[in-house]
Structure 1
Amino acid sequence: MENQRREVYDVMKVCLNAGKIMLQNGAETYRVEDTMTRMASSFGIEASHSYVIPTGIIFTAEDGGPGVTKLIRISHRSTDLQKVALVNSISRRISEGDITLEQAVELLDDIDKMSHTFPLSMQTAAASLASACFMIMYKGSWIDFIPALFAGGLGFLTVTYLQRIVPIKFFAEFCGALIIGLVALIFVLIGWGDQLDKIIIGSVMPLVPGLLLTNAVRDLIAGHLVAGLSKGAEATLTAIAIGSGVAIVLALL
């Protein structure tokens, strides 16, 4: 009996670790719950229940006796869909019986420790180029390409560094939008830019929470109302932060 209970704990640890990795890296709520349930079933726990919200996971496994429940806290979230895909791959291999519980533990630990993040310089260059290209896509003029390039890059750097110093996402995004607006305004005032609105619109696009909005809608459609509303509220706060920062600059005109 004791060995059976210990094995249940080990299975729960694997399922929770998989769910944590997926949720921290941009997976939808229903995908996390489905993956955890399938993994538990593959390891012999047919009766399992999971409750996932953006800030935590509650998982219960029933082994014939009183159910065992564990809670894990999600303190930070980012976007790394490659980790999500790797966890899904491990889940499929578990369902097919290709890997054991011990191997799953090691593989998930390796995935959790992986860092697929590109260097900050490359991220900044990508944000700058994306900002300028978005500005052109929104029918801006080519004279505003360089201003959008600089504004988007500086805004992205501001958000990145401020989140490291002050772990308040709203404040970092507000300051990033403020910097974007100021840089765009300076370029226009000195005559190196033409359309202030187009420069600002293109430059804030790397800050827009597109994946968060998509996941919020998908979770709401799938019936995960709490998770969907939470993600929608987080996306709304980001939009308010960006809008407020830009509004302060426009108020100076």
Structure 2
Amino acid sequence: MEMEKQETYDIMAVCLLAGKIMLQSGAETYRVEDTMMRIASSFGAYQSHPYVTPTGILFSVEGNEPTKTKLIRIVERTTDLEKVAQVNGISRRISAGEFTIEEAYKELKKIGESGSPYSVWIHVLAAAVSSGCFLIMFQGEWRDFFPAFITGGLGFLSLMYFHQLVPIKFFSEFSASLLIGLQALFFVTTGIGGELDKIIIGSVMPLVPGLLITNAVRDLMAGHLISGLAKGADAFLTAFAIGAGIAVIFSFF
């Protein structure tokens, strides 16, 4: 019996690790719960009950012996869809019987401990290019592509810096948008840029929580009301921080 209980705890550890990686990487709530249940079922735990919110995961498994419900906290959340896809791949291989519990845990541990495959400067370059492209998409002038490129790249770099300095999302997003507004104003007043509004709109787009809004709506549609409302509130605060930073610039200049 003791061995069966220990095996149940091992299954719970694998499921919780998979759910933690996915939730920290920006996966939807329903996807996290579905993956955890599929993994548990593949290892023989057919009665599993995951409960996922943006800040924590509760998980229990029914069996012959009573088991403890386990809880893990989720503090850091980012967007890394590569890790979500990797965990989904591990889940499919578990369902196909390719992994034991120990092997699955080791593979998930590797995924969780791996960093981003792209450096900080690649992220900044991608933000800069996308800012210029968003400006053109919003019918801006080509002469403003370079100002938007510089403003968007420096704004995204400042977002990462301020987040490391003070790990409060609202502060880092407000400060980054404030800096974007100042840079855009500088380009326009010096004559390098032409349309202030288009430069600002293009530059703040890499900061907009698009995935968070999409996941919030998807969770609400799937019936996960708490997660959907929580993610929606998070997205609202992010949008408010961005708008407040830009509003300060327009108020004084």
Partner of 1:172: 172
User: Which deviations, in whole Å up to 9, do the C-alpha atoms of 1:8-67 show, x marking residues without a partner?
Assistant: 111100000000000000111000000101111111111110100000000011112324
SS in 2 for 1:63: coil
> Which stretch has the larger CA shift, 232-241 or 111-120?
111-120
Give 1:111 shift. Answer: 0.8
Equivalent residues, number: 253
**Runs of 4+ displaced beyond 4 Å:** none
Aligned-partner Cα distance in 2 for 1:147–1:224: 42
User: Would you say the 8 A contact 1:11–1:101 is kept in 2?
Assistant: yes
> Which stretch has the larger CA shift, 169-178 or 142-151?
142-151
> Which stretch has the larger CA shift, 117-126 or 210-219?
117-126
1:160 counterpart = 2:179: no
SS in 2 for 1:71: strand
User: Would you say the 8 A contact 1:163–1:169 is kept in 2?
Assistant: yes
User: Would you say the 8 A contact 2:5–2:67 is kept in 1?
Assistant: no
Partner of 2:232: 232
Give 1:125 shift. Answer: 1.2
Partner of 2:132: 132
Aligned-partner Cα distance in 1 for 2:90–2:149: 40
Q: Which sections of structure 1, spanning at least 5 residues, go unmatched?
A: none
Partner of 1:75: 75
1:123 counterpart = 2:123: yes
User: Would you say the 8 A contact 1:135–1:198 is kept in 2?
Assistant: yes
TM-score of the pair, normalised by structure 2: 0.98
User: Would you say the 8 A contact 1:60–1:70 is kept in 2?
Assistant: yes
Name the % identity: 60
SS in 2 for 1:192: coil
Partner of 1:194: 194
Aligned-partner Cα distance in 2 for 1:145–1:47: 56
SS in 1 for 2:140: coil
Partner of 1:22: 22
Q: Which sections of structure 2, spanning at least 5 residues, go unmatched?
A: none
Aligned-partner Cα distance in 2 for 1:39–1:128: 40
